[in-house]
Structure 1
Amino acid sequence: MPDLDRMVKRQQVLADFGELALCSLDLDRILAEACRLVGDALGTGRAKLLEILHAEGQLLVRAGVGWDPGIVGRLRMPMEEHSSETFAIAAGEPVISRDIGKEDRFDVPPFMREAGVVALVNVPIFLPGGRAFGLLQVDDTRPRDFGEDEIQFLRTYANILGPVIDRLLLARTLQSTEERFRLMVESALDYAIFLADPQDRITDWLPGAQAVFGWTAEEVGGQPAAITFTPEDRASGQDRWETETARKEGVAPNIRWHIRKDGSRVFIEGSTRALRDPDGTLMGFLKIGQDVTARRDGEERLRESEERFRQFSEASSDLIWVRNAGSMELEYLSPAFETIYGGSREAVLKGGTVQRWAELVHPEDRERALSMIYRVRAGERVMNAFRIIRPSDGETRWIENTDFPLFDNKGRVQRIAGLAKDVTEARMSSARLQVLVEELQHRSRNLIGVITSVASRTLGEEGGAADFQARLQALSRAQGLLSQFGSDTAEVGALVRGELEAHTEVRPPKVAVSGPRVLLTARQVQNFSLALHELTTNAVKYGALRDEAGQLSVTWAVDWDEKGQRRLTLDWIESGVDLQPDRITRRGYGRQLIEKALAYALRARTEFVLGEDGVRCRIQLPLE
């Protein structure tokens, strides 16, 4: 029979532990006290509780008494096959080692030998349902033969520990879940969450509801939930319909405009859900809704934008197309495709590969057209003209494409798109017009030639007649340049060089010519070319081009006048010439042309100076 005092003491231990378990939810404190109580009850003053870490296959010294602080809560033991701990858990029964110095059944962890442990007993702890939690391990520094009464006490103690640990683990999980839920609810500020009683009066107003609607919990407590509805919805009974539907069917949709405290409106997507207790009695309503006003506005703007694009593309006579940059499949093709390409838009969209489109392109233009598409895929913007052969009538048509990449928010090409225009008629008209203009230019040059011949036979080839013929030839050269540059413009550099080359060799340092590319209109070319002719012939007769001593510099640039209009400024500078200007008294035709005719006909500003070393002339001509 066990000693009565020991029995009473152990009963007291069980009672003390039970009281602690009832009044505390601190698992670590309870486990530490459990170790202390059992160590005192068995007179060892040393015990520990080992928790199984299933994922790691280890045992953690979760709590203990009589052990170094560096052991408790930190030390982990592998669940090895030959350990007494592993065997006790697997067998589900206590395992005793009376003297580990003589133990040949199990391996003893080194830290226990170092701590002076000689005898120990392992008692497995199981949670309700039979899942192993760990071990209660009592240690002694002397050889000890644990008696049957001690083993039964430890089994009873472990059986009490299991449900207590399970309850505290569940409580901790529940507390953690509730805390996560609280944090989630309080952080979801774009979700209006609140509770109402069976009469639909607000009872709980969470932070998200305040953020969305603007009222505080104190302001709405006890108020009808209908205060969040718009006046027109309240008038039509939508608030009552929602609660009645939730009452009958369990849940009702809540997707409509609502009103805020400041009178502004907010669009909510949510629901009203009936809350009932286990016997079915209605406890109230849970209302959850997300503020989607910004998203809805964005979607509405997107719909409007898409509708504008659709109307624009369907009304446009130009073809609008969009391809996926990855697959190169067509995603959009405007109705103008059928007019331009003469095929079914739906049929092309179904098999909208690049190869299928390329089959419509003229064989001579196909490779270049495909290369342009892939350049756009690489991020370029290109303009391209090519021919197609329409399958409907076999007609060849000219197409002008403006193709460009469409980027995503990371700067990657997501789609490629383009505008295609049928320019067949425009090209034909342009070609016909070019032929007519070239014919007109040819006839004009022939007419000037006839006039020159008539003047020569009538007036002779000397004196004023020679000057007249030279000026006619200058006009003929200008007409030739107009034809060369496209009939309605001519380039300043070509006019200057053409006139100089008609009289001398243009080579530095004798003659220096420089300036940017500037185009003059047909109206400006004739007077400007005559002015150049007069300057050149004067330089040949009297100035820098008369002998080897003189030098000529002709430069021009584009700048802005005081009214902000672009203008051409040309400087004609001769040097190295002995003109003796005091002997020149007559103003010839050339100077009058420069100083008066240019100002009258072209609104030009001119400066003509006869210096001792040659002519200096500046012509400032407004550009059209």
Structure 2
Amino acid sequence: MPASIREEEWFRQRDVLARFGELALKSDDLDEILHEACHLVGQALGTDIAKVMELQPDGTTLLIKAGVGWPSGIVGNVTVQANQTSSEGNALRTGTAVISEDIETEDRFEYAAFIRDAGIRALVNVIIIGAKDQPSYGILQVDSCKPRRFTEDDTKFLRSYANLIAAAVSRLRKIAEMREGEARLRVSEERYRALVTATSNVVYRMNPDWTEMQQLDGRGFLPDTAKPSKAWMLGYIHPDDQAQVMTSIQEAVWAKGIFALEHRVCRADGTVGWTHSRAVPLFDQQGEITEWFGAASDITELKRVEGALIEGEGRLRTLMEGIPLLVWRSGNEGKWTWASPQWLDYTGQRQEESRDWGWLQAVHPDDHAMARQAWHEAGKDGLLDVEFRVRRAADGTWRWHQTRSVPVRAVPGPGHPKGRILEWLGTTTDIEDLKHLQGQQGVLLAELQHRTRNLLAVVRNVARRSIDPSPGRNQYDARLAAMGRVQGFLARSSAWSVPLQELVNAELLAAGDGTSDRVIIDGPSVNLPGDGVQPMALALHELATNAVKYGAIAQPSGHLSVTWRLEGLGSTAQLVLEWRESGVAIPNGLPARQGYGTELITRALPYQLKAKTHLEFTLDGVRCTIALPAGTFRNEDGRT
């Protein structure tokens, strides 16, 4: 290349450096600087095509941030991967200029499709140095639509040019950081002023040795005539607490630590209140305290509530220690936090031994699993009710105890509609003597049932011998037999109840057929208590007898369905039994009169059990519904 041309290029490049340098120092618009950088560098090298690519946070992607000579949609949208197979990646990795004189013959790198689509044949990549925490800002790339040899002078120029871009980027970033810092400072100051203005506390500043005080703002309880001096401060603090406050201040000053103390104050209205004072020191570069910043919170009401809680706790403790029961307090899952003196005297445990699961050591080993399981279920049910044996220290005997507890709950809130469980308060009661009495009662009850069955047998035998054989005598005998079956059920039950399923099966079987495939019996597990099972047994006996003699069981085309269900909850719960016959042909029409069975169902059951009944003789068979109210039955979990 002739010397005159090289000199012309050299002067043009120096002119571009000067022009861009002036712009980089004056402009605060990064987009403007980068766009003009691409425009001027294209002029300097005579290509009119250039771009600046910004390295993204992932360290492997370059975004075309600015450019000239490119089709619409490229700048600001297209990215390039800076990997080992790209010329851009090699420039970032090596820090040197990477030149491709003709990409058609270049075998070192791969080029993005948009570069080939734009007709680029040659390019040079120069790294733009970044800040310390980001060594590379990105890449300056100058492109040419025809093969070109970039000289050493070109690369020196481009490195200088890239350094000017880096300096401009660094300057603008520092300006942005400074402005951002100023904005954060303004926000912080505004927040500080808002906090001090909004707080109900007294906010103050103190000099290093606490001899002078300046109240900043806030609505508190300091006297209006207060002066920023140590003498005033002592007048504000209750005389009985002044020595403690001054000692705590001196200790905080010596330790250069936080001052925090609760103490009494003389309030502006002449009354005595409580405050929680807390101050933190501020330090200079040498680590010396320059001032204290603090706040005083009025905790008078909190102290009043705290005193009331302590008083209430004392009353509760007195009550629990005075009642003749073994009383305790627990967290969740049965982890005791306190045991009453009654428990400690009874079991011989020390207070620390009973805490957590330690109380189980006083429970019979065979009952440990049962006790733990009961506590686990209590968390779901909100009630603990379990019986286990406890060792009495006085004589070493194991005695049965009933343990009951309900949780103490906080006020209901979001996520806790019933209120979060704070603790469990419970009692453990000696029921050993009661169990013995119940056992004796069971023996007496069994003897009574045995004698009742014998008496019914005698009555049946007398009736057979005294009454001439007739349908009426047979019905009377069958009803006495039904009553005897009920007594047999109760004699075998420890719960003084009879399962409804067994009662229905027994009456159908006694009547003549309870196993026919034309009979459906279905319903949940329900027990009838002893005082209500007798009338129900007689009602089922009458229905079953009628079905076997005339109805669904007697006729080959008939079907019988005996089902029951539970409806409602609590006091509105009821047990609904339905007797449904179908496929029955009544040759002589519906019965003309009501017999004993009809009166029993329609009148005796409503009177004795408060039941709602409906009995209907249809041309297709008998329909009967009996609804027993809550209290006359027990479902499968034992509740009435």
TM normalised by structure 2 equals 0.52
Max Rg structure: 1
Shift of 1:111: 0.8
8 A contact 2:363–2:390 mirrored in 1: no
Q: Does 1:346 align with 2:352?
A: yes
Q: 2:143 is matched with which residue?
A: 139
Q: 1:333 is matched with which residue?
A: 339
8 A contact 2:409–2:422 mirrored in 1: yes
Provide the rounded CA distance (Å) in 1 between the counterparts of 2:171 and 2:114.
32
Q: Does 1:117 align with 2:158?
A: no
TM normalised by structure 1 equals 0.53
Q: Equivalent residue of 2:104, what SS?
A: helix
1:63 and 1:511, CA in 2 relative to 1: closer, same or farther beyond 3 A?
closer
Q: 1:359 is matched with which residue?
A: 364
Q: Which amino acid counterpart does residue 344 of structure 2 have in structure 1? A: E
Q: 1:378 is matched with which residue?
A: 380
Q: Relative to structure 2, which stretch is displaced further, 54-63 or 102-111?
A: 54-63
Shift of 1:379: 1.4
1:394 maps to which of 393, 396, 407: 396
Provide the rounded CA distance (Å) in 1 between the counterparts of 2:372 and 2:597.
46
Q: 2:509 is matched with which residue?
A: none
8 A contact 2:363–2:391 mirrored in 1: no
Provide the rounded CA distance (Å) in 1 between the counterparts of 2:258 and 2:58.
45
Provide the rounded CA distance (Å) in 1 between the counterparts of 2:267 and 2:21.
54
Deviations 1:530-550 (A, max 9, x none): xxxxxxxxxxxxxxxxxxxxx
Q: Does 1:274 align with 2:300?
A: no
Q: 1:438 is matched with which residue?
A: none
Deviations 1:79-128 (A, max 9, x none): 23221111112221111222323323221111112223232210012235
2:293 maps to which of 284, 287, 290: 287
8 A contact 1:319–1:419 mirrored in 2: yes
Q: 1:404 is matched with which residue?
A: 406
Q: Does 1:43 align with 2:46?
A: yes
Provide the rounded CA distance (Å) in 1 between the counterparts of 2:429 and 2:259.
50
**Matching of residues 86-105 of structure 1 within 5 Å:** 86-105=89-108
1:200 and 1:343, CA in 2 relative to 1: closer, same or farther beyond 3 A?
closer
2:325 maps to which of 313, 318, 322: 318
Q: Equivalent residue of 2:381, what SS?
A: coil
8 A contact 1:267–1:291 mirrored in 2: yes
Shift of 1:59: 1.4
1:253 maps to which of 231, 238, 259: 259
8 A contact 1:323–1:331 mirrored in 2: yes
Q: Equivalent residue of 1:102, what SS?
A: coil
8 A contact 1:340–1:422 mirrored in 2: no
1:270 and 1:203, CA in 2 relative to 1: closer, same or farther beyond 3 A?
closer
**Matching of residues 131-210 of structure 1 within 5 Å:** 131-173=135-177, 175-176=179-180, 179=183, 183=187, 186=190, 189=195
1:345 and 1:296, CA in 2 relative to 1: closer, same or farther beyond 3 A?
same
Q: 1:419 is matched with which residue?
A: 427
Q: Does 1:74 align with 2:38?
A: no
Provide the rounded CA distance (Å) in 2 between the counterparts of 1:203 and 1:35.
61
Deviations 1:416-437 (A, max 9, x none): 5422245779x69999xx9xxx
**Matching of residues 612-623 of structure 1 within 5 Å:** none
Q: Equivalent residue of 2:355, what SS?
A: helix
Provide the rounded CA distance (Å) in 1 between the counterparts of 2:89 and 2:266.
64
8 A contact 2:274–2:300 mirrored in 1: no
Provide the rounded CA distance (Å) in 1 between the counterparts of 2:212 and 2:20.
45
Q: 1:488 is matched with which residue?
A: none
1:310 and 1:58, CA in 2 relative to 1: closer, same or farther beyond 3 A?
farther
Q: 1:483 is matched with which residue?
A: none
Provide the rounded CA distance (Å) in 1 between the counterparts of 2:25 and 2:253.
41
**Matching of residues 2-13 of structure 1 within 5 Å:** 6-13=9-16
Q: Which amino acid counterpart does residue 91 of structure 1 have in structure 2? A: T
Q: Equivalent residue of 2:599, what SS?
A: coil
Provide the rounded CA distance (Å) in 2 between the counterparts of 1:378 and 1:336.
29
Q: Which amino acid counterpart does residue 55 of structure 1 have in structure 2? A: D
Identity of aligned residues (%): 28
Provide the rounded CA distance (Å) in 1 between the counterparts of 2:60 and 2:96.
20
8 A contact 2:236–2:267 mirrored in 1: no
Q: Equivalent residue of 1:508, what SS?
A: helix
1:64 and 1:348, CA in 2 relative to 1: closer, same or farther beyond 3 A?
same
Deviations 1:568-609 (A, max 9, x none): xxxxxxxxxxxxxxxxxxxxxxxxxxxxxxxxxxxxxxxxxx
Provide the rounded CA distance (Å) in 1 between the counterparts of 2:211 and 2:120.
67
Q: 1:55 is matched with which residue?
A: 58
Q: 2:87 is matched with which residue?
A: 84
Provide the rounded CA distance (Å) in 1 between the counterparts of 2:37 and 2:373.
82
1:306 and 1:234, CA in 2 relative to 1: closer, same or farther beyond 3 A?
closer
8 A contact 1:376–1:405 mirrored in 2: no
Provide the rounded CA distance (Å) in 1 between the counterparts of 2:34 and 2:211.
47
Deviations 1:301-351 (A, max 9, x none): 76666555445444444333244434x433332222123334434323365
1:100 and 1:400, CA in 2 relative to 1: closer, same or farther beyond 3 A?
closer
Provide the rounded CA distance (Å) in 1 between the counterparts of 2:358 and 2:378.
17
1:144 and 1:381, CA in 2 relative to 1: closer, same or farther beyond 3 A?
same
